Amino acid sequence: MSASKDGGPAFPIPIASTPDGCVYSTMEQSAGKLGGIVVTASDFEAKAAECEGLRDDVAKVTNLYASALGRALSAEARVKELEKYREDEHARMLSWRDIEPDEFCETCGGSGTRVYGSTATWRGGIGGQALTADVCDKCWGSGNKHRAWPSMRVRLVGEG
Ligand SMILES: [Zn+2]
């Protein structure tokens, strides 16, 4: 490149080199040889505004996520609270029936009654299409798996 008399670069000022080895003095000329990309100030401003909009969207999504996470954590804490309540209530009801926590009948949970899938209940046989509550056919109402009450099948039907 030649130099001007004062030592600075000679005009035109090269701003880009292209694969064909040419040097162009304007952005438009360079862009034409580099693939037609010309970025103007208004393009830049439009992209900046678009970025600003995207930043707002990211902030909204982040807030929604934080809110959802907070609600999920609250719900999880409430579920644990209710599970504890259920365990405590079950232990209290077993205590009321004088059944130790490790002695309750697994079939009826210690209540002495259970729900059968038909109106036949513990008798079996042909029943209707209704869920029916009746005495538990494992503990026969005691609620204790180690101390079952007399079997209704033996007493009323003659079957063990
Ligand atoms: Zn039972």
Distance 97 CA to ligand 1 centre (A): 13
Q: Which residues of 72-108 are buried (b: 16+ CB within 10 A; e: fewer)?
A: eeeeeeeeeeeeeeeeeeeeeebeeeebeeebbbeeb
Please state the pTM of the whole predicted model: 0.53
**What is the Å distance from ligand 1's center to 83 Cα?**
22
The alpha carbon of 73 and the centre of ligand 1 are apart by a number of angstroms equal to: 37
- Number of Cβ within a 10 Å radius of residue 112: 20
Per-chain residues with Cβ under 5 A from ion ligand 1: 105, 107-108, 136, 138-139
pLDDT in tens, 106-159: 999 999 999 998 888 888 888 888 999 999 999 999 999 999 999 998 988 787
pLDDT in tens, 32-61: 555 556 667 888 888 889 999 999 999 999
Q: How far is the CA of 137 from the centre of ligand 1 (A)?
A: 7
